[in-house]
Amino acid sequence: MSKSFSSSSELITHGNRLLRLHSFYSLFLALMLLMVTVFDHNHIIVGSINPELMLSSSALYVILAALFAVVANRFPDPQITTGYIFVEIAILTTMMSASGGFDSGFPSLIAIPVIISNLLTPSVLGYGVAAWTTLAIIYSQLALNQNIDTQTAVNAGIFGFLCFVLAWVAQSLSKRLKNSLSINSEQAIHIRRLQKISQQALLELPQGIIACDRDNVILFFNQQMKQWFNLVEGNSLPTPLISSKSQRIIHHNSNKLIVSKVLLKNSKHGDYILSIEDSARLTAEAQQIKLASLGRLTASIAHEIRNPLSALRHASQLLEETPYLEEGERALTHIIDTQCLRINRIIEDVLQLSKPKKANINKILLSTWLQEFSHQFNTHYAADNVFQLSYQCEPEVIVYFDIGHLQQVMHNLCANALRHAIKNSGDHAKIHIAVKQASAEKVQMDILDNGGGIDSSEQAQLFEPFYTNVHDGTGLGLYICRELCEANFANIEYHAIKNGSCFRVMLKNNL
C-alpha cells in the first residue's frame, strides 16, 4: 500500500491543478445540493424518498467538501484525497438512495469522482474506488431496498460494470498523460540545461553581446558589455549604440568598438542582438595570423640567404688577409664585411619578428616590474654611458601583457631613447617612464627622453618596417614594438614633446 501511495504522490504532484479543481467542484456541488434540498419543500428534485436523510447527507457533504478544499489547496496529500473520494462516493450514493435511485440523476454525479480518482491514483486504488462504488450502489439499491425488482438489479450491475470501464479508460488516459508529462519534463530539463550553457557561454565571451526588443529595451547582456557601458537589464539601450545600420564603428572611452546588429528571424517582438567587438582584439588576432604567415615565409628563405651570406663574408675575410692588397682595397673588403653583418642582423630581426610565441598574457604589477627593469637596463648600459633613467608609477597599477614581450618592447624603446638622448644631450641624457590610469580599462605608459625629438616629416613612417635614419640600423625595432603591442591588445603611438620624444603605450588592465 505504501508503494501505491508513493506512486500516487507522484501523480498528484503532476495533477495538483486537477486536484484543486475537483475540490472546488465538490464544494460547489455540495452547496448546490444543500440549497436545493432546503428550498425544495415538496422534495420534487431531490430527497423524494427520504428528505431527512437527504438534508443530513447534504450538510455533511458541505462540511467535508469545505475541509477537503482547504487541505487540497494547502497540503495536497494522496491518502487524504483517496479517503475523501471514498467518503464522497458513499455520501452521493446515500443521496441517490434518498432521492429515488437511478432515476434521480445521481449516477452521473457519482461517475465524476470515479473518473477523477483514476486520473489521480495508481491502478490498484483506482480500481478499488470503482469496486467501492459498485458495492455502495448494490448495497444502497438492493440490500436497503425491500422492494427489489429486476430492473433495479440490472441497472446496479450495469452501473458497476460502467464504473470499471470508466476506471480503465481514465487510467489509460492517465498513463498517456504521465508519459507526456515525463517527456515534457525531460525536454524542459534539457532545454534549461542548454539555456544555462548558452547563457554561460554568452557571459564569458570576450566580445560584448546585448539582446534588445524593437523599443531598444535591454533584455540581456554579458559581462563584457557591463564593463564597457555599465548596463541595467530593463533599461533603454545607451544612445551611442542605437542605430539602424547593420555594422558601424563607435569610439567609447579609449576603445574603438565595432558594433554589428543582427535581427532575429521570426521574432514577433522585433528582438535583435548587438555584437560589439574591440578592434584592438581583432587587430591582435589578425596580427597573430600575419606573424605566423611571415614566420613560415622567412623560415623558408633564411637558410637560402644565410648560406651564401656566410660564404661571402668568409671570402671577404680571406681576401682582407691577403698581403698584397692595398689600403683602398682593404677598406672595400671591410665595407663588404660590415654590410654582411648588417644583412645578417636584419635576418635575425625578421626571424625574431616572424616567430614570436603566442602572447602568454599575464597579470603584471607594473611598479614592481618597472623597478626590476630599470635595474637591469642601468646595469646593461651604465658601464659605457652616463644617463639618468627614472619612472613614476602608482603601486597598485596592474596591466595584462606577455612578460617577455613587455621586456622586449621596453628595452627597444628605452635603448632608442638612450641613443638619441646621448646624441643630443651628452652626459645629461635622461629617460623617464610615466604611468597613469587613462580609463577604467586602459593604463597609459609614456617613455620620454631629451633626445631632441623626431622631425615631423619622419613621424608618419616611424613604425614602418625597414625605415631608419640610423646608418647601421635595421629599421625593425619600432615595427617589432608595434606588432608585439597589438598581439597583447595594446597600442603604441608617438607624441612630440619639447626637446624630446614621447612613445605612449596604452596597456589593458583587464581581460
pLDDT in tens, 205-239: 778 888 888 888 888 888 778 777 878 888 888 88
Q: Are residues 430 and 299 in the same domain?
A: no
267 and 165, same structural domain? no
pLDDT of 350 reads: 65
Asked whether residue 318 falls in the same domain as residue 348, the answer is yes
SS3 258: strand
Given a cut of 90, whether residue 369 has pLDDT beyond it is yes
**Residue-level pLDDT at 122:** 63
Domain boundary among 185, 212, 244: 185
190 occurs within a structural domain? no
- 372 confidence band (pLDDT: 50, 70, 90): very high
Task: Work out the average pLDDT over 467-489.
Answer: 76
Is 70 exceeded by the pLDDT of residue 444?
yes
302 and 317 belong to one structural domain: yes
Q: Which domain holds residue 259?
A: 204-279
pLDDT tens track for 410-430: 999 999 899 889 988 888 899
Is 432's pLDDT higher than 80? yes
269 located within any domain: yes
Of the spans 15-24, 376-385, 494-503, which averages the highest pLDDT?
Answer: 494-503
Q: Among the three residues 239, 255, 279, which one is the final residue of a domain in this structure?
A: 279
Of 185, 215, 235, which residue is a domain's last?
Answer: 185
> Which residues, in sequence order, are bridge partners of residue 218?
212
pTM of the predicted model, to two decimals?
0.44
Q: Is 204 exposed, middle or buried (0-12, 13-18, 19+ CB in 10 A)?
A: exposed
Please name the residue that has the C-alpha cell 539555456: 195
Hey, what's the torsion of the CAs at 216, 220, 226, 230, to 10 degrees?
40
Q: How far is CA 417 from CA 215, 387, 447, 454, in A?
A: 54, 11, 8, 11
Check whether residue 34 and residue 175 sit in a common domain: yes
Cα 127 from Cα 10, distance rounded (Å): 18
Q: What is d(CA 152, CA 166) in angstroms, rounded to the nearest whole number?
A: 21
382 and 457 housed in the same domain: yes
CB-based contacts of 281-287 (< 8 A; 24+ apart in sequence): 281/206, 281/207, 281/489, 282/258, 283/486, 284/359, 284/486, 284/487, 284/488, 284/489, 287/483, 287/486, 287/487
What is the average pLDDT across 2-18? 48
- Answer yes or no: do 261 and 309 share one domain: no
Do both 94 and 158 map to the same domain?
yes
> How many structural domains compose the chain?
4
Q: How many residues does the chain have?
A: 511
Q: Domain for residue 196, yes or no?
A: no
- Give yes or no: residues 369 and 489 share one domain: yes
CA distance 485 to 361: 11
Under 8 Å between Cβ of 367 and 395: yes
> Is residue 265 domain-shared with residue 314, that is, in the same domain?
no
Task: Give strand pairing partners of 507.
Answer: 443
Q: Verify that 443 and 313 share a domain, yes or no.
A: no
| 134-166 tens-digit pLDDT | 888 888 776 655 556 677 778 778 888 888 888
